[in-house]
Amino acid sequence: MDTVLSGIRSTGNLHLGNYYGALRNFTRMQFENNCFFFIADYHSLTTHPDPSILHGNVKNVLTEYLAAGIDPEVSTIYIQSDVPEVCELYLLLNMHAYLGELSKTVSFKEKARKNPDNVNAGLLTYPTLMAADILLHNADKVRVGKDQEQHLEMTRKFARRFNNIYGVEFFNEPVAYNFGQELIKIPGLDGSGKMGKSEGNCVYLKDTPKEIEKKVKRALTDEGPKEFDSVKPDYIENLFTILKVVSTPEVVAHFDEKWNKCEIRYGDLKKQLAEDIIKATDPIRSRITDIENDDTYLRKVTKEGAEKARESAAKTLRQVREIMGFKTF
C-alpha cells in the first residue's frame, strides 16, 4: 500500500482549484492507500496572519476537508502544528538546503517580487518545510495540483541528497500525483491562469448557488469567434477547462461544436457551467454547516489525527537521527 499525502495551507476557504487539484476522487484513494491529509498552518505564517483569525482559518480547512468526504476512520487527518516532529525534520533538512536553490524557486521569486518588504526566512525555506511534511511520513505520492510540481521536484532532490550524503536508501523520492490523471490547474474566472486565494478569483466550495451564478456570469468573455474552428483565447479556454472537470464529455462536446461553428452563446455556456459547478459542490456545501457547528467532533478528529500522525512522524525521526549520528548516553 502506498503512502499518499495531501496538504492545504490554512489561508481561507477551499476553492474549486483545491478540490480538483488535491482532493477529487479521494474516496477511492483513501481505501487503496495509506492517506494523510493535513492542514499547513505553519506555512500560512509567512504572510503574518492576525492571531485572531489563525484558528478560524484552520477550522475552515478542517471542516471543508471533512465535508468533502475524507473519512477520519480510514485516513489520517491532522493539523501541521499538532505534530512538532515536522519542525525538527525541517531544521535537519535545512542544513542541506542551499540559498542558491531556494532563492531560485518560482513561488519564492514571485512572492518576493509582490511583497518586497516581507522576504522572510520562512518564505525562503518554504520548500524545505514542505519537504519535511512529505518526508515525515516517507510518502510515495503527493496529491497536488500543477502549481506544486516544482516543490515536489525539490523534495525529491532533498531526499536524494540526504540518501547520498549518509550513504543510505532511506527516503523515497515522492512523486506528484493525481489519481492516475494529469496534474491539473484550475484557472480563474477572471481570465487569469490560476484560481487562487491570493488572486481573488475563486469559486469557493462554501459559496451559495446564487454566489456561484453571479461569479460565473461575471467571467470574462467577448463577442464570440469570427471564423470557424478558431483557436480559443485563454479566457474562453479557461471556461472550457472548468467545464471539463464539472460537466459530462457530451456537454463539453456540445459547446465545443457550437464554438467551432461560431454559434456559441456565452449566456448558455455560463448557465450550464454554473449549474454544473453547483451540482458538483452541492453535497459538500450542505455538509459544511453541520460539521462546523460540531466542535466535539472536530476536537475528536484532530486529537486522533495528531496521535496517528505523530506516531508515523516519530518513527521516521528516530531513524533520521540515528542515520545522522545522534546518540543517547
Q: Which residues bind ligand TYM (CB under 6 A)?
A: 5, 7-9, 17-18, 20-22, 40, 43, 130, 133-134, 142, 144-145, 147-148, 184-186, 194-196
What's the min distance (Å) between Cβ of 95 and ligand TYM? 19
Please answer whether residues 61 and 15 qualify as being in contact, where contact means their C-beta atoms are separated by less than 8 angstroms. Answer: no
Q: Residue 4 or 301: which CB sits closer to ligand TYM?
A: 4
Q: Residue type at 119? A: V
Instruction: Spot the catalytic one: 194, 217, 244, 258.
Output: 194
Closer CB to ligand TYM, 145 or 225, in the complex: 145
What's the CA gap between 173 and 135, in Å, rounded?
A: 9
Cell numbers 516543490: residue: 151
Nearer to ligand TYM, 258 or 280 (CB): 280
From the candidates 111, 141, 206, 215, give the one annotated as an active-site residue: 111
Residue closer to ligand TYM (CB basis): 151 or 270: 151
CA angle 74, 78, 80 (to 5 degrees): 150
Is residue 197 part of the annotated active site? The answer reads yes
Q: Least distance to ligand TYM from the beta carbon of 21, Å?
A: 2
27 is written with which cell numbers?
474516496
Compare residues 20 and 259 and give the one whose CB is closer to ligand TYM. 20
CB of 194 to ligand TYM, least distance (A): 5
Task: Closer to ligand TYM by CB, 14 or 288: give it.
Answer: 14
Read out DSSP for 2-50?
Answer: -EEEEEEESSS--BHHHIIIIITTHHHHHHHSEEEEEEETTGGGGG---
Instruction: Answer yes or no: are the C-beta atoms of 274 and 213 closer than 8 Å.
Output: yes
Q: Show the DSSP H helices in the chain as ranges.
A: 16-18, 26-32, 51-67, 85-94, 99-103, 106-114, 121-124, 126-135, 149-166, 209-217, 234-246, 249-260, 266-292, 295-324
The order of strands in the sheet holding 141-143 is 76-79, 34-40, 3-9, 141-143, 175-177
Place of cell 476553492: 15
Give the residue carrying C-alpha cell 480547512.
61
Which of 124, 186 has the CB closer to ligand TYM? 186
At closest approach, how far in Å is the CB of 11 from ligand TYM?
7
Q: How far is the CB of 28 from ligand TYM (least distance, A)?
A: 18
Beta-carbon neighbour count of residue 263 at 10 Å?
A: 12
Concerning whether 194 is annotated as a catalytic residue, the answer is yes
Nearest approach in angstroms of CB 296 to ligand TYM is 27
Report d(CA 18, CA 38) in Å as an integer.
13
Cβ 198 to ligand TYM shortest distance, Å: 9
Active-site position among 146, 185, 197, 315: 197
Region of 191 (left: φ > 0; alpha: ψ -120 to 50; beta: rest) is left
Our answer to whether residue 185 is catalytic in this structure is: no
Query: What positions carry a catalytic annotation?
Result: 111, 194, 197
